[in-house]
Amino acid sequence: MLTLERSPEFPRQIQKMFGAVASKYDFLNRMLSAGRDQYWRKAAVDLLSPKKGERFLDVATGTADIALEIAARHPSSLKVMGVDFSGPMLKLGQKKIAEQQREQTITLQKGCAESLPFAGESFHGAISAFGLRNFSDTQRALKEMHRVLKPDGNLVILEFSHPPNPVLGWIYLFYFHFLLPQVGKLFSRHDTAYSYLPQSVAKFPMRDELTLLLNQSGFQCATYQDLTFGIVTLYHGIKNG
């Protein structure tokens, strides 16, 4: 039974949950967000601003949508490393990478966000989309991303938020906490994964609070911007040069 408490079993439970929903993950993302999820990832990669010849790290890459979006910007002249601790998610990601013939650009590796298997100052940019909220130790993962970034490297985080407009907020609350878990359960055949989603968002720091955590993890000038009425928020920080 998955609880939101950061118990020693939490990472294993999260890993098991994503393994169990992996085959339906992309389909449910597109359906439950009415296709907006790909627009949010594109906006996140715009903010990361990949340049030719650079190396990027996608933390909690899942089925590699972000890694593929980065690769699409300069396919032959940049490198992307995607890391995730779920074998089934990575397997699906690898399949998509092969279908899009991006094997020369993207490498996937199994690993934990809280203990990244890379040397310091390895990447020009690091990004995590819808990953942070699932980590057992958010600040440790942020500090790890800071460690592996080169000086002046960019960090981009994409996470769910809650629309600040009260009317929209109520409509969204109804959708996110009532409809989405039922539709998610129906299609994923997983009892808790899609009720865990809104519960984990409700418990996770957003906007000013998360920006502060970025600053406290070593990132300079951390900022945020809302997308789609504040359903999601993009965060940006820079490693001091």
Ligand X SMILES: C[S@@+](CC[C@H](N)C(=O)[O-])C[C@H]1O[C@@H](n2cnc3c(N)ncnc32)[C@H](O)[C@@H]1O
Site for ligand X in 112-131 (CB under 6 A): 112-114, 129-131
| Contact window for ligand X (CB under 6 A) among 78-86, 164-172, 218-226, 229-237 | 78-86
Please state the φ and ψ torsions of residue 21, each to the nearest 5 degrees.
-100, 0
Measured in whole angstroms, the distance separating CA 189 from the mean position of its chain's CA atoms is 23
Return the number of the residue (14 or 48) whose C-beta is nearest ligand X. 14
Rounded to an integer, what distance in angstroms lies between the CA atom of residue 93 and that of residue 86?
Answer: 11
135 binds ligand X (CB under 6 A): yes
89 binds ligand X (CB under 6 A): yes
Measured in whole angstroms, the distance separating CA 193 from the mean position of its chain's CA atoms is 16
Rounded to an integer, what distance in angstroms lies between the CA atom of residue 64 and that of residue 85?
Answer: 13
Which class for 208: exposed (0-12), middle (13-18), buried (19 or more C-beta within 10 A)?
exposed
Shortest spacing between CB 84 and ligand X, in angstroms: 4
192 binds ligand X (CB under 6 A): no
Site for ligand X in 152-191 (CB under 6 A): none
Return the number of the residue (62 or 153) whose C-beta is nearest ligand X. 62
Residue 93 CB coordination number (10 Å): 26
Shortest spacing between CB 65 and ligand X, in angstroms: 5
Return the number of the residue (176 or 220) whose C-beta is nearest ligand X. 176
Residue of minimal CB distance from ligand X? 62
Listed residue (45, 60, 66) closest to 116, CA to CA = 60
- For ligand X, which residue of 20, 86, 108, 231 counts as binding (CB under 6 A)? 86
Shortest spacing between CB 127 and ligand X, in angstroms: 8
- For ligand X, which residue of 50, 55, 62, 144 counts as binding (CB under 6 A)? 62
- For ligand X, which residue of 60, 80, 106, 232 counts as binding (CB under 6 A)? 60
Q: With CB under 6 A as the rule, give the number of residues binding ligand X.
A: 22
Shortest spacing between CB 121 and ligand X, in angstroms: 21
Shortest spacing between CB 165 and ligand X, in angstroms: 25
Site for ligand X in 11-30 (CB under 6 A): 11, 14-15, 18
Rounded to an integer, what distance in angstroms lies between the CA atom of residue 55 and that of residue 149?
Answer: 10
Residues of the shown chain interacting with ligand X in the complex, contacts defined by CB under 6 A: 11, 14-15, 18, 60-62, 65-66, 84-86, 89, 112-114, 129-131, 134-136
